[in-house]
Amino acid sequence: MNANAFRHLYEYHFSENRKIWDNHISSLSNEQFSQNADYSHGSVREQIVHLMSVDEAWFSDLRGVDIPESIDPATVDDRENLRALWNGIEQNMRDYLATLRDEVLFEKPFAEGEDKDLLLWQVLLHVCNHGTDHRAQILRLLHDLGEKTGPQDYVFYAYDNPV
């Protein structure tokens, strides 16, 4: 386990987020984008906002900056603005990952609270795993809306992006 492995894993995370957006979400009607679902966080829009907000919260905390208020999904209808916001969150994550060093992976990044005993590598793995979970939920919602979706398996990314 090293910093480069985590950078590679996050390239997968960013790539899959963008693939779902570009291939499916950008072409949904507003009604489909916000259509209620009785599972997890709800609509495609609510799932996307949740995924973005969690990424932003964890990486803000890791960067030592205040965690912004979560976005209210009901206020987000403009997907162009939402994508721009997501791009900014991704860039902040990339900036953090660019400075990641092997020797800090086994440090505890949080001094207090329920996360105080987590090691940095555990936090990084959790955030990426959380993204996979919610992308799977989004893919199911997209399937239910009639979209032809595909796999998000890491191994397919690895085949195309060897380390």
CATH number of the domain at 3-160, please?
1.20.120.450
Please provide residue 35's backbone torsions phi and psi, each rounded to the nearest 5 degrees.
-60, 130
Q: How confident is the model at residue 72 (pLDDT cuts 50, 70, 90)?
A: confident
pLDDT given at position 38: 79
Question: For the segment 106-142, what is each residue's pLDDT rounded down to a tens digit?
Answer: 999 999 999 999 999 999 999 999 999 999 999 999 9
35 Cβ contact partners less than 8 Å away, ≥ 6 residues apart: 43, 44, 145
pLDDT given at position 41: 80
Asked whether the beta carbons of 28 and 145 are under 8 A apart, the reply is yes
The pLDDT of 35-64, averaged and rounded, is 91
> Residue 54: is its pLDDT beyond 80?
yes
Read off the tokens for 101: 């060093």
> Residue 39: is its pLDDT beyond 80?
no
Read off the tokens for 51: 């995924």
Cα–Cα dist 131/14, whole Å: 9
Question: For the segment 83-96, what is each residue's pLDDT rounded down to a tens digit?
Answer: 999 999 999 999 99
> Residue 49: is its pLDDT beyond 90?
yes
